[in-house]
Amino acid sequence: MTPYRVREVRTEEDRAAAFAVRRAVFVVEQGVPEEIEYDAHDATAVHVIAEHAAGGAALGTGRLLYGPDAAGRTGGAEGVGALGRLAVTRDARGLGVGAALVRAIEDAARARGLTAVDLHAQTHALDFYRRLGYGPYGEEFLDAGIPHLAMRRVL
């Protein structure tokens, strides 16, 4: 049995747990300024959360932007969503949580009629996303001072 479950965020408590994971990974571990970690898109995004099957503790999170909210990350491509803010707690890394979160976001994209998902991958994570079927495009760029590359997967 998988030691965790992944689902869409439904309550304010879920949302707070997802944001706590983002803070631990991006703000504390990676030094991303807290004021840029959370944005207006958080209000309209589909958020997913991975939680420990036994105790419900949050292990990871991610979000899907779609429609007009995704346009800035997808070059305005119609029918393409944007996966972002994928974070897995240090203790849960290596358990498949990240891949399960990506698949849950892809399922959410399909459910909303999207045909592809884009993401901006930190360059150290390129192989992780390649294994999940994402292909890079464009030039490397900095986001919050961290090198990234755009990637896409057709669903």
Compute the average pLDDT of residues 115-136.
Answer: 95
pLDDT beyond 90 at 37: yes
Q: Which of 33-37, 73-77, 138-142, 146-150 has the lowest mean pLDDT?
A: 73-77
Beta carbons within 8 Å of 4's beta carbon, 6+ residues apart: 50, 51, 52, 53, 59, 92, 95, 97, 100
Residue 145 has a pLDDT of 87
Beta carbons within 8 Å of 155's beta carbon, 6+ residues apart: 106, 109, 110, 114, 115, 116, 117
* Each residue's pLDDT tens digit, 44-102: 999 999 999 887 899 999 999 999 999 988 888 889 999 999 999 999 999 999 999 99
* Each residue's pLDDT tens digit, 12-32: 999 999 999 999 999 999 999
Residue 125 has a pLDDT of 92
pTM for the full model? 0.93
Residue 1 has a pLDDT of 59
Residue 150 has a pLDDT of 94
Residue 17 has a pLDDT of 96
* Cα 88 to Cα 125: distance, rounded to the nearest angstrom: 12
